Structure 1
Amino acid sequence: YLDFEDECSSQASESFYKDYINYQLHSFLKDKDIETLLKNAQAVYTELPFYSMDGNEYSNGVMDLVLKMSDKSFIIIDYKTNIQEEADRKLFEERILKTYRSQLDFYEKILRKMLSLSEETKVECHIYFMNDDKYMKN
Structure 2
Amino acid sequence: MPIPTDVIHRYEIPIDDQPHRFTIGRGPLYFACRQGDRVEFWAYAPTESSAMDREFTIIGTGQPLPLGTWHVGTVLSPSGNLVWHILEVAQPGQWLIRQDSGSAEAPKVATTVTVHNWDDSAQVGAEIARSLRRQRRDGGI
Please report the TM-score for the alignment, with normalisation by the length of structure 2: 0.24
Higher strand share: 2
Bigger radius of gyration, 1 or 2?
1
Relative CO higher for 1 or 2, CA cutoff 8 Å, sep ≥ 6? 1
Higher helix share: 1
Please report the TM-score for the alignment, with normalisation by the length of structure 1: 0.25
